């Protein structure tokens, strides 16, 4: 009798993951991804992004019937009305989501069943930077602290190693930790 391993682990279809890796080895042009967002100012610090299509795996994605719509704003102390989280908080959310899904994918590939992954993130900054009051402070976060709590059917060492591997492979961790060139062009209407 053959025992077949269940291919879904941590909600990840591991057969699909290995199939994708094989396809990328054979056709490296499938690895090109372009993600997008469109934004429109509403009032004060309040704006709204629309997120829909992207290019990836050799084609324009058509899996999303409707766009995602997400707002950003500021609390009153930063001149808004709490219409939505602020951009720096969304950046922490992006980092949390990316590290978490990378942990989950790495664990699935290493045959580890996770039962819990939670994290708390904090980013500190001195507003004298962004306000232009004192250029000895940077505009953005001086540093970000991430605290993970993780539970699964593996030794503590293996679970720690999975988090380390996720750090080494996370898209957003790389973007935040290292410089990304940003080209801004402006059309005046």
Q: Phi/psi class of residue 173: alpha, beta or left (left: φ > 0; alpha: ψ in -120 to 50)? A: alpha
SS3 string, 74-90, reads: CCHHHCCCCCCCCHHHH
> What's the closest the beta carbon of residue 1 comes to a second copy, in angstroms?
30
Of 2 and 59, CB closest to a second copy: 59
Nearer to a second copy, 35 or 111 (CB): 35
Report the nearest approach of a second copy to the CB of residue 23 (Å): 11
Minimum distance from residue 33 beta carbon to a second copy (Å):
5
Closest CA to 43 of 14, 72, 70, 21: 72
Task: Take residue 125 and report the two structure tokens written for it.
Answer: 């900054």
Closest approach, Cβ 168 to a second copy, in A, equals 8
Alpha-carbon span 163 to 141, nearest angstrom: 22
Query: Between 2 and 82, whose beta carbon lies closer to a second copy?
Result: 82
If the CB atoms of residues 2 and 36 are measured against a second copy, the closer one turns out to be 36
d(CA 119, CA 148): 4
Instruction: State which residue, 1 or 34, has the beta carbon closest to a second copy.
Output: 34
Helix (H/G/I), strand (E/B), else coil: 22:
helix
Distance of closest approach, residue 5 Cβ to a second copy, in angstroms: 17
């Amino acid at each position: 009798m053959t025992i077949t391993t269940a291919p879904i682990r941590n909600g990840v279809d591991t057969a699909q993951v290995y199939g994708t890796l094989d396809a990328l080895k054979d056709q490296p042009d499938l690895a090109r991804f372009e993600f997008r967002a469109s934004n429109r100012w509403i009032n004060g610090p309040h704006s709204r992004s629309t997120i829909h299509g992207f290019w990836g795996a050799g084609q324009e994605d058509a899996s999303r019937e409707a766009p995602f719509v997400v707002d950003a704003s500021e609390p009153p102390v930063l001149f808004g009305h709490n219409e939505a989280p602020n951009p720096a908080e969304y950046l922490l959310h992006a980092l949390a989501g990316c590290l978490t899904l990378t942990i989950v994918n790495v664990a699935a590939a290493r045959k580890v069943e996770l039962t819990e992954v939670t994290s708390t993130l904090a980013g500190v900054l001195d507003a004298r930077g962004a306000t232009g009051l004192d250029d000895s402070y940077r505009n953005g976060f001086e540093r970000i602290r991430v605290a993970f709590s993780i539970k699964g059917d593996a030794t503590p060492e293996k679970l720690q190693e999975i988090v380390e591997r996720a750090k080494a492979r996370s898209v957003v961790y790389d973007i935040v930790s290292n410089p990304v060139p940003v080209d801004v062009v402006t059309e005046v209407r």
